[in-house]
Structure 1
Amino acid sequence: MTEINTRTLLITGCSSGIGLDAARTLSERGWRVFATARKTEDVERLSGEGLEALRLDYADPDSIAAAVAEIAERTGGRLDAVFHNGAYAIPGPLEDVPPAAMRAIFESNFLGWHDLTTRVIPMMRAHGGGRIVMNSSVLGLIATKWRGAYCATKFAVEGWSDALRMEMRGTGIEISVIEPGPIDTAFRKNAIAAFEKWVDWEKSARADQYRESLLTQLYEGSGGGYPASDVTKKLIHALEAPRPRVRYFVTPHTHVAGALKRVMPARLLDRLLDRA
């Protein structure tokens, strides 16, 4: 990889939250950042900040191909790092998540990540290495009820990342996974929009349960979270350390979840999480 002031980095999901903080911070550190977002208006706003902004929607393979081709043209075929960040949730009991909704969330949260990764690996191989960092979740370590669709995509990212890390050994391409807990982002707002699009709760066998508690959990929740900069700090280490870690835990929730996953029997952990 080149010196820090010439390194190139592609970040997805930069319209707000984690991706936006990462794009701003890494740009300030001297990286040449390609900040991507799904919506044209967000791309224009990022460009207005002085970032090199491109449209990239994980659910749109043509946009992935176009973004990678544009980066290759601008850099002479060099891309040193990718931070996979864009994802969303479809909250609700799995029995109420239509198959089409599950296909859609996997397209955005996993299959698009794979598509982008397979397109950038040849660029990294050509220059002797690179860094690929996945923004996973505490819900990629443990599953909780009502979040099954999102958990499924993050569990997929975890296994895929482990296999990719082993396969890339000896190529100079390092794979790391960041595991955030609750972060202060627009995640809940986006999840509500997905719920309203896909889940017909009034026809559910759990309609009374929705009225009694599930809708309140979704629309009110616990609120708050840790700053996006906590994730960016881990990202900096994953990108710049001579020997990056395999996994980076962010927030106490993730440290606790990781420990419980290792030592607690599955059914006992189920009961504990059911009370959370």
Structure 2
Amino acid sequence: MSKSILITGCSSGIGYDAAHGLKRAGWRVFATCRQQKDVERLQSEGLESIRLDYADEGSLRDALAWVLEQTGGTLDALYNNGAHACPGAAEDLPRGALREIFEVNLFGVHDLTRLVIPVMRAQGHGHIINCSSILGLVVAPWRAAYNSTKFALEGLTDTLRIEMRDTNIKVVLLEPGPVTSRIRANSVPHFEKWIDWENSPRAGQYRTSLRQRLYAKKEGKDTFELPASAVTAKLLKILNSANPAPRYYVTTPTYIMGTLRRILPTRALDAILSRG
């Protein structure tokens, strides 16, 4: 029987590539999406798919119950990939914006992981892979909400990994840098919902910087940007390892920033990061 994996956030980008890539590699993939229309699209592409929304606790339980029904009660791996961003200066982020993004990027990930752990304990093995980011290692201006969720995810994952040392459940962080995806376009509705940029003391900076980047029609790749398949390749490396490393970098900037964070004084690193 092929090994099984539950992947979140499969409507596009990293999750979409992982779902198809792992299926080609022989895995039984359960690809989840937040919206039913995307679930149906993935089903039409030959994937086993069901709705799962990190902000909807009932959908987590229902999706996992359905997956376990299909597999006879086992699950070899969980890939927590789903996330969203809410761009804006830290001083312009209302409490509601932070609450909304933490519900998805952290609390939902934690809830789903807690549901899966008893299954893996019972079967005696499992891989839990959490998709963090280069922004879980260092910060970038205008991304305070996303930065903070990824830093929190890193702390939660590191703690879980240490606590799971007495089991055969492997807990791993994936840390991509710039990867081709729709996260920028998908962040626009959250920006428009929460950020009152016109009344911000940084309104001029929004006009000349952030809004131009958010609304610009993207042509070509950003510097060092890699396709989502680069993340899938690292994911497969993790899944094929009986003793994976605690974290895996993807893209050159992640390797660079991981090194600079270790060797530079904070003020020197701040000077580099402040350039965006």
Asked if Structure 1 and Structure 2 have the same fold, meaning a TM-score greater than 0.5 normalized by the shorter chain, the answer is yes
CA offset at residue 223 of structure 1?
A: 5.9
Q: Displacement, 1:30?
A: 1.2
- Helix, strand or coil for the counterpart of 1:6? coil
Q: Secondary structure at the match of 1:82?
A: strand
Partner of 1:39: 35
- Superposed, 1:97-176 pairs within 5 Å as 97-176=93-172
Aligned 8 A contact 2:52 2:60 in 1 = yes
Q: Deviations over 1:152-208 (max 9, x none)?
A: 000011000100000111210001111100001101101122111211111112222
Equivalent-residue separation in structure 2 for 1:69 and 1:14 (angstroms)? 19
Partner of 2:274: 274
Matched AA of 1:78:
T
2:177 is the alignment partner of 1:181: yes
What code does the residue aligned with 1:230 have? Answer: A
Deviations 1:18-54 (A, max 9, x none): 1011111111111111000000000001111111101
State how 1:260-271 maps to structure 2 within 5 Å. 260-271=260-271
User: In the alignment, is the contact (CA less than 8 A) between 2:7 and 2:81 conserved in 1?
Assistant: yes
* Equivalent in the alignment of 2:245: 245
C-alpha displacement of 1:222: 8.7
Of 18, 23, 30 in structure 2, the residue corresponding to residue 22 of structure 1 is 18
Who is 1:89 aligned against?
85
Residues 113-147 of structure 1: CA distance to partner in whole angstroms, max 9, x if unpaired? Answer: 00000000000000001000011100000011111
For the residue of structure 2 that corresponds to 1:77, the secondary structure is coil
Is 1:195 paired with 2:191? yes
- Please report the TM-score for the alignment, with normalisation by the length of structure 1: 0.96
Partner Cα distance (1:122, 1:223) in 2: 44
Distance 1:209 1:79 in 2: 48
Secondary structure at the residue paired with 1:241?
A: coil
**Distance across 2 between alignment mates of 1:19 and 1:34:** 11
Partner SS, residue 169 of structure 1: helix
Quote the Cα distance in structure 2 between the aligned partners of 1:86 and 1:223: 24
Given that 2:185 and 2:214 are in contact with CA atoms closer than 8 Å, whether structure 1 keeps it comes out as no
Which whole-Å CA distance do the structure 2 matches of 1:71 and 1:214 have between them?
Answer: 40
The percentage of counterpart residues that share the same residue type is 54
Indicate yes or no: 2:211 matched with 1:218: no
Q: Does residue 209 of the first structure (1) align with residue 183 of the second (2)?
A: no
Q: CA deviation at 1:112?
A: 0.1
TM-score for both structures, normalised by structure 2: 0.96
Which secondary structure does the structure 2 equivalent of 1:168 belong to? helix
Code of the residue aligned with 1:35 in structure 2: it is: A
- What amino acid sits opposite 1:137 in the alignment? S
**Distance in 1 (alpha carbons) for counterparts of 2:246 and 2:44:** 35
Q: Any unmatched runs of 5+ in structure 2?
A: none
Of 213-222 and 251-260, more deviation after overlay is shown by 213-222
d(CA) in 1 for partners of 2:122, 2:168: 11
SS of structure 1 residue aligned to 2:165: coil
What one-letter code is carried by the residue in structure 2 that aligns with 1:266?
Answer: T
CA distance in structure 1 between the aligned counterparts of 2:133 and 2:19, rounded to whole angstroms: 19
Task: Give the secondary-structure state (helix, strand or coil) at the position aligned to 2:171.
Answer: strand
Q: 2:62 aligns with which of 60, 66, 71?
A: 66
Superposition CA RMSD, Å: 1.3
Write the distance in 1 (CA, Å) between the matches of 2:188 and 2:122.
42
Q: Deviations over 1:77-99 (max 9, x none)?
A: 10110001001110110111110
**Residue 146 of structure 2 aligns to a residue in which SS?**
helix
Q: How far off its partner does 1:242 sit?
A: 2.1
Number of equivalenced pairs = 272
Letter in 2 for 1:75: T
Partners of 2:26 and 2:207 in 1: CA distance: 51
Range moving further from structure 2, 236-245 or 148-157: 236-245
